Amino acid sequence: MKFAWVIGTLVSTRKAEGLEGVKFLIVQPLDERRLPSGEPYVAVDATRQAGLGELVFVVASREAALALDESFVPVDAAIVGIVDDVHAPLLPEEE
């Protein structure tokens, strides 16, 4: 799983079966120090509680679909947790 920052929302009415009621969020991928790294992408919110500006962790690939109640869905990224705290004494300080 990787860190990401929730930066936006995406609305779609026409989508694959099984995705009704699933929330799509735009996230900015982050490196291990929680600094932006790479291009934003879209993830489903399996916590149902992630909001704009929050630090979250995202599971990718086939495992992402498993985070949803209906798991036979074409989903390759899912927010599975909202980060309260990271304790990382072995990483260089964030600027």
Partner 1 sequence: MYLARVVGNVVATIKHPFFEGRKLMLVQRLDLDHQPTPTYDIAVDDVQAGVGDFVLVFDEGTGARQILRAGNTAPVRAVIVGIVDDVEQYGIG
Partner 2 sequence: MQLAQVVGTVVATQKSQRLDGLKMLILRPFGLDGKLGSGYLVALDSVGAGPGEVVLYCTGSSARQTEATKDRPADAVIMAIVDTVEVGGDVKYQKGNKGAST
- Is residue 6 within the footprint of partner 1 (CB under 8 A)? no
Q: Which of 88, 78, 71, 93 is nearest to 19 (CA)?
A: 71
User: What is the Cα–Cα distance from 6 to 37, expressed in whole angstroms?
Assistant: 14
By CB under 8 A, is residue 91 in contact with partner 2? no
Q: How far is CA 63 from CA 34, 60, 75, 78, in A?
A: 22, 6, 9, 8
Taking CB within 5 to 8 Å according to partner kind, which of partner 1, partner 2, none is near residue 6? none
* Binding residues among 57-86 for partner 2 as defined by CB under 8 A: 61-62, 64-65, 72-77
- Applying the rule CB under 8 A, the residues between 4 and 63 that interact with partner 2 are 7-17, 19, 24, 26, 39-44, 52, 61-62
